[in-house]
Chains A and B, each alone.
Chain A
Amino acid sequence: MEKRQLHPEKWVDQYADYLFNYAVARINNAELAKDLVQETFFAGLKSANNYKGAAAERTWLIAILKRKVIDHYRKINSQKGKAEVRMNYSSHSDSDGDWLEEQIADPLSTLENDPIENEELGLAIQECITRLPKKQSLVFSMKTIQGMSTEDICKELGINPSNLWVMIHRARTALMGCLNQNWFKL
């Protein structure tokens, strides 16, 4: 098997958004998540010598990020006064009654799978976006994820609207194919 190597110069373009999605899902704070991604890259660079090529680059970076997320929670938990976790029996604190019966999980419900599945879907989409040519992924992200207007994107990138729609078209066509492979055929 070909020996895997690290390419730190490509990390930001290739993995930043993927790692960011992973972090945001766990930290729920975009600024903090961004910092953790940056720290992950630093840590990756620092311990690049330990990379044996056993895992793919992205898996290796995710493993580092995972530690960073855990460290983050350790840190905020060790701050005095915050270690205490208070839990109300339910979000409607004044409702009292047969609490045990009310709190029991519904064995037939599949509702709680949705957030998990949607996070995985998000990562699958993100991975497909990363495979697009740089310009296409940029336009697609700005339009679809950041929800920017056509006019703003054109101004920022110096392209005209028909360029933009052609790129969106190529990106969407490629994504449909990629998701067919990555998502629907799992």
Chain B
Amino acid sequence: MISCDEAAIICNKRQYKEASLGEKLKLILHLLFCKACSKFSKKNAELTVLCDKAPLHCIPEKDKVIMKNKLQKRF
């Protein structure tokens, strides 16, 4: 059996489709017995749905650095 911490990590990996088959099996087994993790898993999946649904954009970090520098010059 895996611990709840390990289960949470696998659950997160799964949101990004990066959990291996073995990990997924371990997680599913854990979820059968652990109510708290089942709830977390459900919430986590909901968050993924929300993030996929919303048109999210962000400025890459290196562009932000450029922005900051340009702005700082005008202080």
Contacts and interface: CB of A to CB of B under 8 A. Distances in A.
A71 B53 CA distance: 30
Interface residues of B, number: 31
Contacts of B9: 162, 165-166, 169
Query: Main SS of the interface on chain A?
Result: helix
Contact of A146 (B12, B43, B55, B58): B58
Nearest to A143: B16
A163 B66 CA distance: 27
B50 interface: yes
Nearest to A180: B43
Contact of B57 (A11, A20, A150, A183): A20
A176 B55 contact: no
A24 interface: yes
B47 A8 contact: no
Interface in A4-49: 8-9, 11-13, 16-17, 20-21, 24-25, 30, 33-34, 37-38, 41-42, 45-46
A93 interface: no
Most chain A CB within a 10 A radius of its CB, from B16, B58, B61, B67: B58
A119 interface: yes
Interface string B30-74: 000000000000011011001101111111110110011011101
Most chain A CB within a 10 A radius of its CB, from B18, B57, B70: B57
A45 B67 CA distance: 13
Contact of B12 (A17, A33, A141, A165): A165
Contacts of B8: 169
Interface of A: 8-9, 11-13, 16-17, 20-21, 24-25, 30, 33-34, 37-38, 41-42, 45-46, 118-119, 121-122, 125-126, 138, 141-146, 150, 162, 165-166, 168-169, 172, 175-176, 179, 183
Given A37-B67, A42-B74, 6 more contacts: A46-B74, A119-B54, A119-B55, A125-B50, A125-B56, A165-B9
11 contacts: A8-B75, A12-B68, A21-B58, A42-B70, A45-B71, A45-B75, A118-B54, A121-B50, A125-B50, A145-B51, A176-B46
